[in-house]
A and B are shown apart, each in its own frame.
Chain A
Amino acid sequence: MILSLLGEALAAMAANRMRTFLTALGILIGVAAVVLMVAIGQGTQTQVGESIASMGSNLLIVRSGASRQGGVRGGTGNMPTLTAMDAQAIGQLSRAALVAPTVIGSVQVVYGPNNWNTSAIGTSAEYLRIRDWRVVEGRTFSESEATSGVRVALMGQEVARQLFGNESPVGKSIRVQRSPFLVIGLLDQKGQSLGGQNQDDMIIAPLVTAQRQLFGTQFQGTVSMVMVQATTTEDMAPLEKSTRELLRQRHHLNTRAEDDFRITNMTEVSETASEVTGMLSILLGAIASISLFVGGIGIMNIMMVSVTERTREIGIRMAIGASRGDILIQFLLESVIITMAGGIAGIATGIGMAFFATHMFDVWTTVTAMPVLLAFFVSVGVGIFFGLYPARKAAQMRPIDALRYQG
């Protein structure tokens, strides 16, 4: 029965509370550090992952490049080279599932006495499907609305809050750049983008409407970017290649000319990002592990002192019938209980600190079962590993020497 030895271990720990507490504290700090650091690492991973996922999956983004006029090079998207026709042609490619030609610009929106500066996106109805973005109230625009230039708009949550407060914007008429628009739908909450922009702070209008009514002469039949969704992830690379070939051909670029557009493969971006954030998690965990290791050394130190200090006690116990195994188990139990208690308290502290960091400093943290369990078992392992040597030392003592020891 290990139970009676457990009682002896607990009694010995209770008899020396300060020593027990300080030892457990070392493990507590180590485990808490591991839990917190991994939570921050995984939180960052989740945050970046979600931001990328909110763009849409299997996504290629084709941006207008800088066109040349004489020797002057314009900035990307300043002198749009892509057209809605280009987008339509990309949509004909076999591996392209959805295509959304997009124009974007800054607009002033007015409703009653309120006005607000926000982004306006002119695009096709497919845009929302690519980005997996739903309309929570009202409807999205129909095929005919998308091409006829009718003045309708979908509104992001943030704009609705600024202009309408708690009122529903659907069915209301607003003014965008002096033109009246009818709000036909309210978009779902989307949160922050990877670049840190609030994706709910925007309105969406049909492409043709936006080109004609909102941006004056800036986009005359041209678009600033085209979002292309591939049928599957495997189609991404071939689609990127065929899109490039198609556009070069359509733009009459000879073999030596540079592309006048840029293609970004969002799957690659997301892979790189998750690689980087994964590394971050490992790095943070590794740094925190060092403090756990130091805590383990502390345990060994304390237990070594404890064995020496209690040599006589060990002798007495052996004289009245304790076997070497009994002594070994008692000392081992002491260190395992100390580390386990420190481990559990450390997990609680680590989760508490992660919670605190999220709410006070706006740090993304994700606490998952894996690192918590890992930290717990590592702390028990630390207890066994660093407790074993002093425990063995205690058990190997000859009873007669232990009894004679003058502490």
Chain B
Amino acid sequence: MSELLVLDDLGKDYDTDAGPVQVLKHLSLSIEEGEFVAIMGPSGSGKSTLMNILGCLDVPTSGRYLLGGRDTGSLGDLDLAKVRSEVIGFVFQGFNLLPRASLVANVALPLVYQRVGHGIRNERAAAMLQRVGLDKWLNSLPPRISGGQQQRVAIARALVTEPRLILADEPTGNIDTRTGREIMQLFQTINRDSGITLVLVTHDRNVAGYASRLIYLLDGRIHYDGPVDQFREENIT
């Protein structure tokens, strides 16, 4: 197994009116190809900031972030967009679908930026919607389906480019527990069957239980990094 992500002494500061705030402090970790990692931690521990850096939506203030062996710090805007397009798939807490575009159009959207032709685009999007069990609603609009279904659409959209890494930020945060379980099972299947590396941020201990490895952040530092089943929350508090 090769290393897909490597963080080397990574730091991130934010300028606020009250002066600079260190959100991430000297983070070093690596994630291998095919791993399913959950990131937990209390609010303000830096989880979301870490996710944004992993997703190349934000850049670290110090240290290095290597994705697939490439130092992302040396990439320009265009190359970062290319990395987001080809290597990474995003799943957000609020789904972030385009409300006025059909499900097919939503799922096909990442392929637009890979310059895939219209016909092939829709074919692949439809196939992906079938895989997440939504092939009956190809031409519906997102607001017309349930939250759980919208999240499935978002997963299909993340999968359609066949990325190596899927980043999910609180994917079950806006859905009920039962639907959340289905979503997590879907993630597990994707990780097992396609070997796609999954990194997931969550508050929920049960959701994290679907992963194999857990990283617990506290105050911008790694507090725990190891197998999910050996993690005891009592140790933290």
Where the two chains meet, the residues of A that have a C-beta atom closer than 8 Å to any C-beta of B are 1, 3-5, 7-8, 11, 15-16, 312-313, 315-326, 398-400, 403
Contact = CB atoms under 8 A, between A and B. Distances in A.
A192 B78 CA distance: 68
Interface in B47-69: 52, 55, 57-58
A400 B52 contact: yes
Interface in B187-224: none
Given A4-B116, A400-B52, A321 B81 contact: yes
Contact of A316 (B78, B89, B96): B96
Nearest to B95: A316
A321 B78 contact: no
B83 to A, nearest CB: 9
B130 interface: no
B77 A324 contact: yes
B96 A321 contact: no
Interface stretch (B32-40, B105-113, B173-181): B105-113
Contact of A400 (B57, B86, B109, B158): B57
A9 B9 CA distance: 42
A326 B158 CA distance: 19
B5 to A, nearest CB: 18
B157 interface: yes
B101 A403 contact: no
A3 to B, nearest CB: 8
B118 A7 contact: yes
Nearest to A12: B100
A200 B191 CA distance: 93
Main SS at interface, chain A: helix
Interface of B: 52, 55, 57-58, 77-78, 81-82, 84-86, 89-90, 92, 96-98, 100-101, 105, 109-110, 112-118, 121, 157-158, 161
B55 A11 contact: no
B96 A319 contact: yes
A323 B57 contact: no
A320 B90 contact: yes
B109 A324 contact: no
Contact of B57 (A8, A324, A326, A399): A399
Contacts of A318: 57, 81, 84
Nearest to A322: B113
A283 to B, nearest CB: 45
B112 A7 contact: yes
A187 B64 CA distance: 95
Given A312-B96, A403-B57, A321 B101 contact: no
A309 to B, nearest CB: 12
Contacts of A16: 100
Contacts of B78: 323-325
A327 to B, nearest CB: 10
A1 B115 CA distance: 6
B57 A321 contact: no
Contacts of A5: 112
A398 B81 CA distance: 12
Given A316-B96, A403-B57, A322 B118 contact: no
Given A8-B112, A400-B57, 13 more contacts: A4-B112, A7-B112, A15-B100, A318-B81, A319-B96, A320-B84, A321-B85, A321-B86, A322-B81, A398-B58, A399-B57, A400-B58, A403-B57
A319 B83 CA distance: 10
A398 B78 CA distance: 13
Given A11-B105, A400-B58, A319 B84 contact: yes
A313 B98 contact: yes
6 contacts: A317-B109, A318-B81, A318-B84, A323-B85, A398-B58, A403-B57
Contacts of A3: 118
A324 B101 contact: no
B84 A321 contact: yes
Nearest to A8: B112
Nearest to B141: A15
